[in-house]
Amino acid sequence: MAHTAQDLATFCKKKGFMYPSSEIYGGLAGFYDYGHLGTLLKRKFEQSWRDYFLGLDRNYVEIDTAQIMPEAVFKASGHLENFSDPTVHCSRCDFSDRADHLIQRAIKQRVEGLSPPEMTSLIEQRKLKCPKCAAALRPVTAFNMMFPVSLGVGTTQRAFLRPETAQSPYVNFKLQHELQRKKMPLGLALIGKAFRNEISPRNLTLRLREFTQAELQIFFNPRLISKHPSFASVKNYKLRVLLEEDRQKGLPAERTAADLVKRGLPEFYVYHLVVIQKFYFEVLKIAPSAFRFYQLDDKEKAFYNKYHFDVEVELADHGFTELGGLHYRTDHDLGGHHKISKQNLEVLDEESGEKYLPHVLELSFGVDRNVYALLDVAFDDHKQRGNIVLHLPPSLTPYLCAVFPLVKNKEELVAKAEEVDALLQKHQFRPLYDEVASIGRRYARADEIGVKYCLTVDFESLSDGAVTVRDRETTEQKRVPIAHLSEYLRTSQ
């Protein structure tokens, strides 16, 4: 049965996946904590992301960097000047909101990218009023979303919490390029926190003020953008895209990678659209019908992008929602840092003797939004079973397996179950161990947190050395010898 976003929020809190931060003090808008199940899921998402994207090339490596950066970084990147959201305030009460969201809700059309004066005229034309008290709204203004921080005592140095992880690889580029023996293309991946003073944080972890991003910055020679050495292997791969020209139809179309190149997108860019779609289909197991790339037009694109497609997944109540993006940032950032830091960030192509400032292709993902999406698409209020079933992919679910002694007051059974638990721990499975309540109740609880296999140790186990393995998806049960369990779990994923 279809669920609502509220059902998911209630469930996440009840099971401890995630919930408002500092709740004993009433919480703080835009900040969420992950409980232990949520933390396991988030870490597994991050590890899958790492394995997949770092696996693309031996010259793609991960770094871990500071979250507070000096003002000069954001002068160079353009964030000081451009990283603002349009804000609208009521002329009478304390209401304020993002102007594009307020207009979008009223006229049911995306208006991202319009300037503050354009939004002000739209508000006037459509006679939009304060949704709280119906008074007139003030003209739309731009609000910079970066958090300034003060460092030490008595210093005048200005610094900010980074609003995207991306700037860290850019300021690390020169050193990392040398450390990687100047090999290009170079990929610098970073999973870390970003901070934005969102005007209206909302929807659980979809819009936070402190959130985690997983971003891969690929530095390359811009002369090579029209080619990718492996493009031939993906040219017939079908991408689900909603191009600018197809917007009126509202539906994504399947277009081959070769077709997108024919329409003017460079091979290097399209190749990475394929890489990202495969991650969503093959690793995260998102159904194709719930996935699309959304092409942003010139007004909607981030200020640093030449080509910009959002990665979107369809969520309950929210429709298609941005979880990430493929951004061709050209030399916007390195150019800025080259100028402001006065360090030479050019590289030398040793074969041709050509000196150039690398361009950047950014594969950007919000970890919290992806975790939300995984939970949302997995959530199933299963009427027949009478409990929620979380259909998370085995490689991502917090617990792949659980060990249950049939009853907890029989010493031999408990000892055997503990033996199975220890064996699986030794093989790196970290099972959930549960001995409380009936087996049926324990199956239901396991379904609710996405356990794929429940392993029950019963009286027969004492003589046949096997356990009953129950599969979350089919509820089918089969006997598997304890000696073969690790192998069974490994190959059944």
Q: How far is the CB of 312 from ligand GAP (least distance, A)?
A: 9
Distance between CA 470 and CA 358 in Å, rounded? 53
Instruction: Determine which residue in the list 76, 261, 323, 420 makes contact with ligand GAP, applying CB under 6 A.
Output: 323
Instruction: Determine which residue in the list 86, 187, 325, 358 makes contact with ligand GAP, applying CB under 6 A.
Output: 325
The window from 63-71, 211-219, 275-283, 443-451 that contacts ligand GAP (CB under 6 A) reads 211-219
Number of residues lying near ligand GAP (CB under 6 A): 19
Nearer to ligand GAP, 195 or 429 (CB): 195
Q: How far is the CB of 21 from ligand GAP (least distance, A)?
A: 13
Residue 357's H or E segment, with its range, is none
Q: What are phi and psi of 313, to 5 degrees?
A: -130, 140
DSSP, collapsed to helix, strand or coil, labels residue 307 as: strand
Q: Does 364 bind ligand GAP (CB under 6 A)?
A: yes
The window from 151-159, 276-284, 317-325, 476-484 that contacts ligand GAP (CB under 6 A) reads 317-325
CB 469 within 8 A of CB 454: yes
Sort 164 into a burial class: Cβ within 10 Å, 0-12 / 13-18 / 19+. Answer: buried
Q: Does 214 bind ligand GAP (CB under 6 A)?
A: no
Q: How far is the CB of 208 from ligand GAP (least distance, A)?
A: 4
When CB distances to ligand GAP are compared, the closest residue is 366
Question: Helix %, strand %, coil % for the chain, to 5?
Answer: 35, 25, 35
Q: Does 452 bind ligand GAP (CB under 6 A)?
A: no
Show contacts of 29-37: CB within 8 Å, 24+ apart.
29/201, 29/209, 30/198, 30/201, 30/207, 30/208, 30/209, 30/210, 31/208, 31/209, 31/210, 32/204, 32/205, 32/208, 32/368, 37/398, 37/449
CB 356 within 8 A of CB 347: yes
Q: How far is the CB of 381 from ligand GAP (least distance, A)?
A: 26
**Subset of 150-209 contacting ligand GAP (CB under 6 A):** 164, 166, 196, 198, 207-208
The DSSP secondary-structure symbol of 379 reads: E
Instruction: Determine which residue in the list 38, 169, 324, 358 makes contact with ligand GAP, applying CB under 6 A.
Output: 324
The window from 107-115, 239-247, 257-265, 361-369 that contacts ligand GAP (CB under 6 A) reads 361-369
Is cis: bond before 185, omega within 30 of 0? yes
Binding site for ligand GAP (CB under 6 A): 164, 166, 196, 198, 207-208, 211, 213, 215, 322-325, 327, 362, 364, 366, 368-369
